[in-house]
Chains A and B, each alone.
Chain A
Amino acid sequence: MKVEVKHRKNKLGIMGWIGGGRFGAERYAYALHRLTGLGILAYFLLHIFVTGSRIGGHQSWESAMANFETPVFKFGEFLVFLAFAYHALNGLRLIITELGFMLGKAQRPVFPYVTSVHRQRPLFIGVMIVAAIIIIFGGADFYFI
């Protein structure tokens, strides 16, 4: 039997990503996950066409790449790298928790309450440290090595 689900109207809209309650760090991680996802998607759609220029041969590829050899594009590419590192590691955390791992066993809600958000926080901190390390190495590769 198909059940028609009626949703409540989303009054906050995009502003709900950053405000609308007493949010913890994970809520801002969620907002940043979406923001970085949209940035990566925009870059990826452009990337499909830029890499598609390979079909015109070596000269076509080199002339396409010449358009992007400016400091502004290089910085933009580095921002995409930052977004990738964050989105990938935070996404890994989301997959792990979606599958029910790192949340602990269900228990009675006895004071002091420990929610599943609290239980996964070490994982959140861990993946952010790994993302920071990748960003530092990537930054060194982009600008210093």
Chain B
Amino acid sequence: MRESSLWFWHIIAGAVIFVFLGLHMFIMHLESILGFLGLGYGGDVTSAQSVFMRSQQGFFMVTYIILLGAALYHGLYGFRNILFELSLSRTWEKIINWFFALGGLALFVYGTYVAVFIFLNPAAV
């Protein structure tokens, strides 16, 4: 893929993360303030009950997967750019490209499997 296309998707992924990670952060780290406004879940948001309740809702399952894919792409592509600026040899650039592409794909498959498994098997967990 051309570098301009990779950069375009880096920006799109950033915008997607801005929305979904913003939502995630508000739910996880501003829950007391949301509670004051009557918008919170109530209780400890990291408790097993609260975490599994969210994981078994279709909206959260889908947004977790979108956020996972966007964040992996944005983060690994950004890290790759930082490394490439250090005037690496072409061989190192190829190694980094493959390592990040395969590593990112493996993490995406793992994270997606966890999210879908918990959503489809509420009794098993």
Chain A interfacial positions (CB closer than 8 Å to B): 7, 9-10, 13-14, 34, 37-38, 40-41, 44-45, 48, 51-52, 54-58, 61-62, 65, 81, 84, 88, 91-92, 95, 98, 137-138, 140-142, 145
Contact = CB atoms under 8 A, between A and B. Distances in A.
A137 B11 contact: no
Interface of B: 11, 14-15, 17-18, 21-22, 25, 29-33, 46, 48-49, 51-52, 55, 68, 71, 75-76, 78-79, 82, 85-87, 107, 110-111, 114, 117-118, 124-125
A48 B17 CA distance: 15
7 contacts: A7-B87, A34-B78, A44-B71, A54-B125, A56-B125, A57-B125, A88-B22
Contacts of A142: 29
A58 B30 contact: no
A145 B107 CA distance: 35
B51 A45 contact: no
A127 to B, nearest CB: 12
